[in-house]
Amino acid sequence: MKKIDFEAVFRTGLDKKELEDLLRLIAGEDCQIHLAQEEDVDSESGLTADTVQPIGEILIKRGDITSEDLDKGLKKHKPLGQELVEDGVVSPDSVKAALEEQARQRDAVARRSKVEKISTIRVASEKLDKLFNLIGELVTVQERLSQVSGKIRKAQPEDLDKVLQELDLEGISEEVSLLTNSLRDNALSVRMLPVESTFTKFRRLIHDLSTDLNKEIDLTMSGTDTEIDKTVIDKLDEPLMHMIRNCADHGIETPDERLAAGKPRRGTIHLSAEHVSGNVVIHVRDDGAGLNKEKILQRAIEREVVAPNVQLSDQEIFKLIFMPGFSTAAEVTSVSGRGVGMDVVKKTIEELRGSVEVFSTPGKGTQIDVVLPLTLAIIDGLLVSIDNCAFVIPLSVVEECIELISEQSKNNTTGGNLANVRGSLVPYIRLRELFKIEGQAPAIEQIVISRVNGQRVGFVVDTVIGEHKTVIKSLGKTYHDVPEFSGASIMGDGSIAIILDAARLIQTSILNEVSE
């Protein structure tokens, strides 16, 4: 029989003997088991990245060289091991052994660091108390269900209807529903953290920027007790840093310029957060000079991003700053000019299923609004279907649903897919055509009117089923290149519903029209 060797790492409260007995019971007597605690494996227990020994110290400890040999070798510029071999004070095999020992020490540090990088979160004790109380109530309901199941199983066929009426299944179902909703909300609240810890990190950044730019800048904050999912908070540092740097460099004027404009000598960057319609909105505002629309547009024309004679609204011009590599800085400095920053903001926020808007008034300042979901785990969605395929549209972007009769669609004389919604023309996208779903559309379809990045767009589906609490599941690496789908959800009957990314759907539809 072929011999198989393998190693495993256990994190357990059992002592060495108890763990060995347990493994012996599982593997059998024919299996040879050797257990060693981590400090036994790494003789240099307590190693850190700063305490890995240099090769010279290892050679001295091994007795291969003396301190004088080490000092002499360090005065030269070749690798120490090579110098010592050339000087004849140590053999190549000794240097090789010392290098192997050093590599083993580094591996031990890497393993220990990997174990220590465990994400932790501080949770208020009252949240945990409530969670345990809800679990206790759920256990009680589960016992009731077990009793109900037993009575139904024992009932005679002729007495089944009477037994079902006495058991109050509808009441038990409502109680389970209430407990499930409470558990969901409480579990989500455990993951929620105030944004204060994230905001306060930037005090040092403002201090450094004031020194580098020769400006006087204060950082103020409000709404710091606003809570948001830890997963979202962990990814906010970089986008907020870029926005603050942009405000400090391009927005806030020098003290002399501010005094000449009748402003206080010191500029202000204000960070705030608030809950709005199931989302968290973070505002980054400065009281600087505001965005220079002419300068932004001119730089976009120079880079051939827009045509020279194009007419753009203020919001369209402001959105140009989010383009990759775009910068209005006259020269490259340590703060700006490289064109890397605001494009990172937009990309990161969109990956978090959020959006970003810019508002600016000349001479008054600029405000950047970042809209983010409360959590990345569960969303309120609108469940729709096309043929036998189920889809979920995030409820945060949905405004209303209207009917689209096939005859009206055929007789459309506006020259495109436009629906008349109380006197306003709203463009719509046929998801059946976009996803190439076969089958015949019903005579009366539904249009889900959504507002995405300030624009109203409709999505045509066969049927609108209704609101649906959606637990988001990742689609995995296989579908990572399908940006229109932001995830999936498992329905009550075990089927799959695809969660749609409204913003990416619009982009895909536009690209398809251009290619055609």
Please classify residue 301 by burial: count the beta carbons closer than 10 Å to its beta carbon, then call 0-12 exposed, 13-18 middle and 19+ buried.
Answer: middle
Q: Which stretches does DSSP call E strand in 320-377?
A: 355-361, 365-373
**pLDDT score of 473 more than 70:** yes
**pLDDT score of 205 more than 60:** yes
Q: Which residue, among 318, 344, 334, 369, has the nearest Cα to 242 in the 3D structure?
A: 344
pLDDT-based confidence at residue 259 (cuts at 50, 70, 90):
very high
Bridge partners for 286 per DSSP: 269, 366
pLDDT-based confidence at residue 416 (cuts at 50, 70, 90):
low
**What's the rounded Cα separation, in Å, for the pair 366 and 349?**
19
**What's the rounded Cα separation, in Å, for the pair 73 and 109?**
27
> Is the entire prediction scored with pTM above 0.75?
no
Q: Give residue-wise pLDDT tens across range 72-90.
A: 666 555 566 667 777 777 7
Q: Which residue, among 477, 479, 514, 478, has the nearest Cα to 499 in the 3D structure?
A: 479
**Are 287 and 257 contacting, i.e. CB atoms less than 8 angstroms apart?**
no
* Order of all β-strands in the sheet with 463-471: 463-471, 378-386, 389-394, 496-500, 485-490
pLDDT-based confidence at residue 512 (cuts at 50, 70, 90):
low
**Are 236 and 243 contacting, i.e. CB atoms less than 8 angstroms apart?**
no
**Are 250 and 298 contacting, i.e. CB atoms less than 8 angstroms apart?**
no
**What's the rounded Cα separation, in Å, for the pair 444 and 463?**
9
- To which residue do tokens 């306003």 refer? 424
- To which residue do tokens 């400006």 refer? 215
Q: Which residue, among 86, 88, 42, 43, has the nearest Cα to 64 in the 3D structure?
A: 88
Q: What percent of the chain has pLDDT over 70?
A: 78
**Are 297 and 314 contacting, i.e. CB atoms less than 8 angstroms apart?**
no
Q: Among the residues of 222-341, which ranges form H helices?
A: 230-234, 237-246, 255-260, 293-302, 314-318
pLDDT of residue 115: 46
**Are 33 and 23 contacting, i.e. CB atoms less than 8 angstroms apart?**
yes
pLDDT-based confidence at residue 464 (cuts at 50, 70, 90):
very high
**pLDDT score of 339 more than 50:** no
At 134, list the tokens. 């809800």
Chain-centre distance of CA 30, in angstroms? 48
Bridge partners for 448 per DSSP: 401, 459
Q: Which range has the worst mean pLDDT, 82-86, 89-93, 380-384, 397-401? A: 82-86
